[in-house]
Amino acid sequence: MTAYDEIGGHSAMKLGVAVFYNRVVADPLLAPSFEGISLARLRAHQVAFLSSAIGGPQAFAGRDLRAAHAAFSITDEAFDRMVEHLEFALRDVSTPESVTAQVLGVVEGLRGAIVQPARAVG
């Protein structure tokens, strides 16, 4: 039994991801990056991405995550906030702690690809 099965598979993941992005777009630090972005498409990609990260059958066919985030000048603070919303959302849909820890571990490993290095001024 994979972590994906343990949480209740596709419907549980869809619910968790919906809670996650509802929180993200209500957060003034993060919301500006999502203006004009199709949330339906983003939710579908995130479901596929997180599912495949914890043993689900879906393959993630989206873009390389470094390329997908390059335009948004994402800071460590924004990344941390995103992780907090994800953690809250997973708990909100009663994800077992061991699975939450597994998901957050995978996500932490993406920090270097998603956060933009600070540029020197001048």
Compute the distance between CA of residue 65 and CA of residue 110 in angstroms, rounded to an integer.
Answer: 8
In whole angstroms, the minimum distance from the beta carbon of 34 to ligand HEM comes to 5
Interface region with ligand HEM, contact rule CB under 6 A, candidates 1-9, 10-18, 74-82, 90-98: 74-82
- Burial state string for 7-26 with b = 16 or more CB within 10 A and e = fewer than 16: beeeebbbbbbbbbbebbbe
Among 4, 20, 21, 49, binds ligand HEM (CB under 6 A): 49
Give yes or no for residue 15 binding ligand HEM (CB under 6 A). no
| Structural Rg of the chain based on CA atoms | 14
> Quick check: 13 and 56 in contact, CB under 8 A?
yes
**Interaction site with ligand HEM (CB under 6 A):** 30, 33-34, 37, 42, 45-46, 49, 62-63, 65, 68-69, 72, 74, 78-79, 82-83, 107, 110, 114
